[in-house]
Amino acid sequence: MKIARRAQRIEPFYVMEVAKAASALAQEFAHSDRPMIFLNIGEPDFTAPPLVQEAAARAISQGNTQYTQATGLPALRERISAWYASRFGADVAPGRIIVTAGASAALQLACLALIEAGDEILMPDPSYPCNRHFVSAAEGNAVLVPTTAAERFQLTREKVEAAWQPQTRGVLLASPSNPTGTSIAPEELQRIHEFVHGRGGITLIDEIYLGLSYEEHFGHSALAMPGELGQSVISINSFSKYFNMTGWRLGWLVVPEALAPVIERIAQNLFICPSTVAQHAALACFEPESLQEYERRRAEFKARRDYFIPELNRLGLTVPVMPDGAFYAYADCTQAAARLGVSGSWDFAFDLMKRAHLAVTPGRDFGHAAPEQFVRFSTANSMAQLHEAVARLKAVLA
């Protein structure tokens, strides 16, 4: 059977390959005094709060399960719009909001609508691997631009200008980012978008972790940029991370007004509509009681960060930039790997699985800029589990 070239360009998702290995080993240790601790997957340990669960059950019992518009329930688009106004001071008309089957569908729709074969999209290295694969699936070319800790592992306007070529179509950014948890400073983001917009290019920004920002300076949506800048940026968001609805597969896309009918036409053909039950449930995310619970959980995520990252630094697993959002720690494992007698993050991660019964993600997924030097820890786990993980790390690295 002949496989399409676009499929062959998609690399394995190594995060999931490591997860499969960790799950297999976990079976061996399940009944021991040290069961596997999973700090490898970027999924909140919290689930949807009570009002959201109740809204889903109510939708099912009342038979509200048939197709919606391809763009989503009008009431949900209005609530998302109101959330942008109250949380970020951004004026986002409901007509610019397209509800999607997760952030993945949002990014796929944007890439299919905007990228031609051979177009180049600039991205920071390191970055979330699936984002570049969506570019490839649309027959574009993701160009990874190496970044440094001094740049918060984010692109700058100067780097975008230097990398811009005649075939460059735009940039795909993430703020806060996976795997580093770092954001682009709002003033730098505006400088980047001013340049890209001036070249007639597109600025796509993954903001799925934006609700989990911990520092006031960084917790701003690109959609809040002034005037035409805020109207022309394209933002991808999700109910998975801040709203704790991972398996519900619900996200959204904010686009310039003129692009909305184009996205709607593609969505009608590819997806018909997002999950109706998930949409009715998501309406309850914006109730005051739910938002209060989400903020309590955000504070818990911050407390985990504030405990775990200093402990990693003390163990020689240096996190070169303190994350200002999300729930990740991107740590330099060079020194720790040497202590265990292994070389590189891949072998280090598998050695930790066997010695400490601790699953982490090696840097191979996230780009080509020194992936062997870094591992990603996820702090989307209980404080008790994080304390136990630190104890095990101390034992094997002592």
Instruction: Say how far residue 274 (Cα) sits from the centre of its chain.
Output: 19
Q: Which two tokens stand for residue 317?
A: 């697993």
Give the per-residue pLDDT at 287: 98
- Tokens 């990228």 locate to 115
H helices, E strands: number in the chain: 15, 12
CA quadruple 187, 192, 196, 201: dihedral positive or negative?
A: negative
Residue 194: per-residue pLDDT: 98
For residue 175, the SS3 value is coil
Closest to 370 (Cα-Cα) out of 174, 140, 177, 180? 180
Residue 19 has pLDDT above 90, yes or no: no
Instruction: Give the pLDDT score at 266.
Output: 98
pLDDT greater than 90 at residue 23: no
Q: For position 68, what pLDDT does the model report?
A: 98
State the Cα torsion 26-32-33-39 to the nearest 10°: 0
pLDDT digits (tens, 9 = 90+) for 34-73: 889 999 988 999 999 999 999 999 999 999 999 999 999 9
Whether residue 30 is predicted with pLDDT greater than 80 in this model: the reply is no
Give me the mean pLDDT over the 386-395 stretch.
97
What does the pLDDT read at residue 293?
Answer: 98
**Residue tagged 């982490």 (tokens):** 360
Residue range 140-164: mean pLDDT, rounded:
97
% of residues, the chain, pLDDT over 70: 99
- H or E element, residue 100: strand 97-100
pLDDT score, position 6: 81
The residue that leads in pLDDT, 34 or 287, is 287
- Identify the pLDDT of residue 22: 77
pLDDT confidence of 82, banded at 50, 70, 90?
A: very high
In the predicted model, is pLDDT for residue 368 greater than 80?
yes
Cα–Cα–Cα angle for 243, 245, 246, rounded to 5 degrees:
120
| Model confidence at 328: pLDDT above 80 | yes
Give yes or no for residue 28 having a pLDDT over 80.
no
Q: Average pLDDT, stretch 109-130?
A: 97
Is the pLDDT confidence value at 3 over 90?
Answer: no
User: To the nearest 10°, the Cα dihedral for 259, 243, 88, 142?
Assistant: -50
User: pLDDT tens digit string along 84-108?
Assistant: 999 999 999 999 999 999 999 999 9
Average pLDDT, the chain: 95
The pLDDT, as a whole number, for residue 77 is 98
Q: What is the pLDDT of residue 187?
A: 97
pLDDT digits (tens, 9 = 90+) for 340-364: 999 999 999 999 999 999 999 999 9
pLDDT of residue 195: 98
**pLDDT at residue 248, as a whole number:** 97
Confidence of residue 74 (pLDDT cuts 50, 70, 90): very high
Cα 39 from Cα 62, distance rounded (Å): 39
Per-residue pLDDT band for 4 (boundaries 50, 70, 90) equals confident
How does pLDDT run across 305-317, given as a tens digit for each residue?
Answer: 999 999 999 999 9
Number of residues that this document lists for the chain = 398
For 195-212, the pLDDT digits (tens) are 999 999 999 999 999 999
Instruction: Check pLDDT > 90 for residue 262.
Output: yes
Q: Minimal CA–CA distance to 236: which of 222, 218, 215?
A: 222
What is the pLDDT, as a whole number, of residue 41? 86
Indicate whether 235 pLDDT > 80: yes
